[in-house]
Structure 1
Amino acid sequence: MKIALILLSLCTLAQAFVAPKSAFASPHAAVSTMPQPTALFAHDDEDSSNNALSFPSVATTTAALWSLTATMASAAGPDWGIFEGRTGSLLHPVMMAGLLALSVSTALLGFNWRRQRTLGDEISALKKTLPDLGGAKSLTDAIAAAKSEETVNFALVNKLEDALPIQAEIAALTAERKELAQGNNRDKHFSQGATLAFLGTAFAIEGPLNTYARAGKLFPGPHLYAGAGLVVLWALAAACVPAMQKGSDTARTIHIGANLAGIGMFAWQVTSGIPILFKVLEFTKWP
């Protein structure tokens, strides 16, 4: 039906622009005779009905084409099916809530790995404060050896005993580092971070696509801006990894700062998305 209307409108428009018959006069006709000025503006009713352009016809046909084209354009949008329904619309907020939890977990793994890596420096610094053990294997053995001498050096014994709390702290830090090493924090942090960057970016794009599929437009605001900024921070954190592997403390600081800012922005995005979630539940249907 729409195709027939288009063809009919095009035929009407073409007929409206047919050239006047006088334009196809015989080539043998005299061309030296100039028409009178009054003839140029003469309006013969019979000729004008056949030869002149019909402005009402052109206007009517153009308006009909415009209206029909607009109607077809508005109805030509793709049918996204389940993607623009409630199921597809709820996929974004559910995934984002899960990714926020994954962000916190990844951050904790990162701090555990940093703690494990820096514990060696703390233990080394504490060992330097211990007194000379005189060849003994431990501080306890050195104290026992000092007390067993015929002439007890009480100053040395007191010095060794004062170092017992330091020895206990070293033992505690060593046990903590061993426990952290068993957790495989470095590999887990890298794996979860890569997963977060991939899924987070994918669903940061999926959200606006779903909104456009449902509403035909996007709604700029805090939620959209926070999502875009979050993807930028993820990219910045990932870009620092090669330099971090080479020992750059500046890259580590930027990496940690970007991820902490990302968690804060992520929380803001989830909070700003709650009103949108209510609207989705209101205006969508299952599936």
Structure 2
Amino acid sequence: MAIPLGLLSLGTTTLSQKPLLQTISELPNPSRKQFTNHSKSFNQQAIQHLTHLTAISLPFLVNQQDALAVGGEFGLLEGRTVALIHPIVLGSLFFYTLYAGYLGWQWRRVRTIQTEINELKKQLKPAQLATPEGSPPVQPSPIEITIQQLTEERKELLKGSYKDRHFNAGSILLGFGVFEAVAGPVNTYMRTGKLFPGPHLYAGAAITVLWAAAAALVPAMQKGNETARNLHIALNVLNVLLFAWQIPTGFDIVLKVFEFTNWP
């Protein structure tokens, strides 16, 4: 740190000038003593001012990067415990994404199975749709057996309430996912004072955008828009692929967290 020379000279000027000392020695004794006392008082005040000025100017004289460096001012938020929340939550959300996809696929099956039943019924002859009373039972055709099996399957699927469960799972995934996608980089900045642009950060941003885009299609899906439904599925498939691809880079970051942080 460099302190201006002008500040250093403030308290030493009256002590180092020889003509002034000679002048003092030539004064009468009472005047000399009085002048010396004033000089000492002035020097003490000058030293006090110098100390105050140095303390005030210190933040402006130190290196700016040192002043901005992260080094404990965030307390526990810089520790290993908080840093590990992000990988733990995101790892859990990866498997929860697969579960939400399973629920969505089952709900889609509920809708498509009814379409299959309607198409099969169109293939039956009118005489096969209703058996007259008193007539001997007719052996069901393969199409009728298939219709019966699909009908039973649909009844079982309806008991699973997959529509509501998929919607709830998607809402939880969106809420926790977006929150942690933002909290992770914020924590990295708290620990290191900077972010690290790279595959992990870019993939995480893309996943967050895909979550939002897939959720934005829900109103159109509820109105029966098949294009919105197919796009919703495509976005989520891409999301899962990006999520899986991001795991190795995330694991590398976890190793660095253990290397450069301490408990808690």
1:12 equivalent among 7, 11, 15? 7
Q: Taking structure 1 as reference, are residues 234 and 134 closer, same or farther at Cα in structure 2, changes over 3 Å only? A: closer
> In the alignment, which residue of structure 2 is the partner of 1:80?
74
Q: Could you tell me which of 110, 134, 150 is aligned with 1:173? A: 150
Q: 1:130 aligns with which of 119, 124, 137?
A: 124
Quote the offset at 1:254 in angstroms: 1.2
Aligned residues of 1:9 and 1:65 also touching (Cα < 8 A): no
Measured after TM superposition, the shift of residue 74 of structure 1 is 3.5
Looking at structure 1, the residues matched to 111 and 185 of structure 2 have their Cα atoms a distance apart, in angstroms, of: 40
The answer (yes or no) to whether the contact 1:123–1:170 under 8 Å persists in 2 is yes
1:272/1:135 CA distance change after superposition, 3 Å:
closer
Q: Against the structure 1 CA distance between its residues 244 and 212, is the aligned structure 2 distance closer, same or farther, given a 3 Å change threshold?
A: same
| Equivalent in the alignment of 1:145 | 135
What is the TM-score normalised by the length of structure 1? 0.68
Task: Note the 1:194-273 alignment, pairs <5 A.
Answer: 194-273=171-250
Q: Which runs of 5+ in 1 are unaligned?
A: 16-60, 148-159
93, 99, 102: which one pairs with 2:96?
102
Distance 1:70 1:78 in 2: 17
CA contact (8 A) 2:70 2:191 kept: no
- After TM superposition, the score normalised by the length of structure 2 is 0.74
RMSD across aligned positions (CA): 3.1
Structure 1 pair 176–74 and aligned structure 2 pair: CA distance change class (3 A): same
Contact 1:89 1:210 (8 Å CA) reproduced: yes
CA drift of 1:67 comes to: 3.8
Cα 1:92/1:71, change in 2 over 3 Å: closer
* Higher share in helix: 2
Residues 225-267 of structure 1: CA deviation (Å, up to 9, x unaligned): 0000001101110111111111111111111111110011111
Q: Deviations for 1:113-165, whole angstroms, at most 9, x for unmatched residues? A: 0110111111011111112237744xxx89x9368xxxxxxxxxxxx75x611
